Amino acid sequence: MNITSSPATLLILLITIVTSVRAWKDTRLFNQFILYPYQMARDKSWHRTITSGLIHADMWHLAFNMISLYSFATGYGGLEKTMGSLSFLVFYVATLIISDLTTVVRHKDNPAYRALGASGAVSAVILASVMNHPDGKLMMLMFPFPMPAWLFGILFIGYSHYASRNAKDNIGHEAHLWGAIAGVVLGWIMSSEIRENFLTFLHVKGIL
């Protein structure tokens, strides 16, 4: 699908890329935008739940998130086309906020914790796309072999849950987990086509 036929995805890509590159050169902007739960709990700077998704740690972090967003929003699952551009934009921003709020709650008393990146919202896009076409095949870096999309979705959520409790790396697994869960819930609520496709896959079309 041509990216120009997906204006919401194009807008998200452009804003995120431009803001990330600018923040690498502007420490003040970077510090104003980053998710900082300890400070947010004290000065109510809730804008960070959105702005932290517009900046990334480095070029690889940015590229991975934006390629994943593009691939699922306009390619597999065709999520923006399914939902409509305005609904997709609302979906993206809402899941970004939800995935960040869970991190804020968990780390609000930790002055050393900071987070950034669009991974929570991207996880939501991936899982909603899986719901839209659960019978397809997917292959990504963490699972380097083709597998049914529905199985990929289960493994994605299962691993994110495990890693959010046990991993000792610098990856925001809890944002991935809650972003994915938000994607499933909001995708179901906001799109009748996603509901129909998923229920058809389960052979229970018409029950709900």
Kindly state the percentage of the chain with pLDDT values over 70: 89
Domains defined along the chain, listed by start? 3-201 (1.20.1540.10)
Strand partners, 148: 137
Query: Per mean pLDDT, which range of 34-43, 67-76, 86-95, 157-166 is the poorest?
Result: 157-166
CA atoms within 13 A on the CB side of 180: 20
More confident residue, 145 or 134: 134
Kindly state the percentage of the chain with pLDDT values over 90: 65
Of residues 120, 110, 111, 126, the one with CA closest to residue 164 = 120
Task: Select, from the ranges 98-107, 139-148, 196-205, the one with the highest average predicted confidence (pLDDT).
Answer: 98-107
**C-alpha dihedral over 52, 128, 62, 137, to 10 degrees?**
160
Average pLDDT of the residues in 181-185? 95
Q: Is the pLDDT of residue 176 over 50?
A: yes
Q: What pLDDT digit, counting tens, does each position of 87-114 carry?
A: 999 999 999 999 999 889 988 999 999 9
